[in-house]
Amino acid sequence: MLLESKGISLSLERPHVMGILNVTPDSFSDGGSWNRLDLALTHARHMVAEGATLIDIGGESTRPGAPAVSEQEELDRVIPVVEHLARECEVMLSLDTSKAAVMREGCRAGAHLINDVRALQEPGALQAAAEAGVPVCLMHMQGQPRTMQQAPHYEDLLGEVRAFFDERIQACEAAGIVRDRLLLDPGYGFGKNLAHNYQLLACQEQLLDYALPLLVGMSRKSMIGNLLGRPVDERLPGSLACAMIGMQKGARIIRVHDVQATMDALRVAWMTMTGRDFSQK
């Protein structure tokens, strides 16, 4: 299986690390760390040097309770970063956005992938993604980011996640987005309590039935902190455990803050599973 966009091709026969680049003042883990252009570019280069083959650039925090960001503000945060990285880095650039205008302008600026926590449900998003012609990651979320953790409830967790993906895949195809351009993200931490997250992780491999690439992001999340009683800056061991389990259960793109540590853990696990090492390039 290949992930291809604008001349960049990634073989999904092996795992890949997606480095998180939040150019926001209020993301739950690293808000304010990279919201200046020079700092963002330096951090992106560092993650690429550590082995990231994708960089996920986000200009709006989706943590519970985060305030909304205007379209123009998100564009101002994201577009300069995309433009600079597209000129200098031979990695896949992902846009972490739900706004149609950001999708359009970001892809014009050089982004290769749209990563939407709202699964193209915002006004104009389906059309913008179809026109951009790049791969799209659809994430499952119950509710909306600002309220999603207020008593999430499921009668059939996996069944409801699958029903959501069924509907969104159908909507994408109806809008002209080719199915084999889609990726799926189970949405750990989005409209799920502690038990829901680990129940879904335990059966994640059942989502491979879609024959679409799986992307997972559990890095530093509250599903780790609440289980272990650790603050955000002490969640690396738990994050690595989640990354390894996610990979073993079929995910081939692992979205993380700590690229080098995750690369090391993935390479050891992959060597054990397959007898092969994989290059950091």
Q: What is d(CA 24, CA 15) in angstroms, rounded to the nearest whole number?
A: 27
Q: What is d(CA 127, CA 98) in angstroms, rounded to the nearest whole number?
A: 12
pLDDT confidence of 187, banded at 50, 70, 90?
very high
The pLDDT value recorded for residue 274 is 95
Catalytic annotation on 221? yes
8 A C-beta contact, residue 55 and residue 94: yes
Q: What is d(CA 138, CA 165) in angstroms, rounded to the nearest whole number?
A: 8
Catalytic residue, from 99, 181, 255, 267: name it.
255
pTM of the model: 0.94
pLDDT surpassing 50 at residue 58: yes
Q: Which residue has the higher pLDDT, 14 or 61?
A: 14
Extract the tokens encoding 143: 């509710």
Tell how far CA 225 is from the center of its chain.
19
Unique residue bearing structure tokens 């570019």:
41
pLDDT surpassing 50 at residue 170: yes
Helix axes 71-88, 37-50, angle to 10 degrees: 50
The pLDDT value recorded for residue 26 is 52
Question: What's the rounded mean pLDDT across residues 55-79?
Answer: 90
Tens digits of residue pLDDT in 100-123: 999 999 999 999 999 999 999 999
pLDDT surpassing 50 at residue 82: yes
pLDDT surpassing 90 at residue 27: no
pLDDT confidence of 281, banded at 50, 70, 90?
very low
Q: What is d(CA 3, CA 180) in angstroms, rounded to the nearest whole number?
A: 9
Tens digits of residue pLDDT in 199-213: 999 999 999 999 999
Measured in degrees and rounded to the nearest 5, phi and psi for residue 73 equal -65, -40
pLDDT surpassing 90 at residue 148: no
8 A C-beta contact, residue 214 and residue 250: yes
Catalytic annotation on 108? no
pLDDT surpassing 80 at residue 149: no
Q: Which residue has the higher pLDDT, 45 or 27?
A: 45
The pLDDT value recorded for residue 29 is 52
Tens digits of residue pLDDT in 228-273: 999 999 999 999 999 999 999 999 999 999 999 999 999 999 999 9
The pLDDT value recorded for residue 280 is 45
Catalytic residue, from 118, 221, 249, 252: name it.
221
What's domain 13-272's architecture? Alpha-Beta Barrel (3.20)
Extract the tokens encoding 231: 């603050």
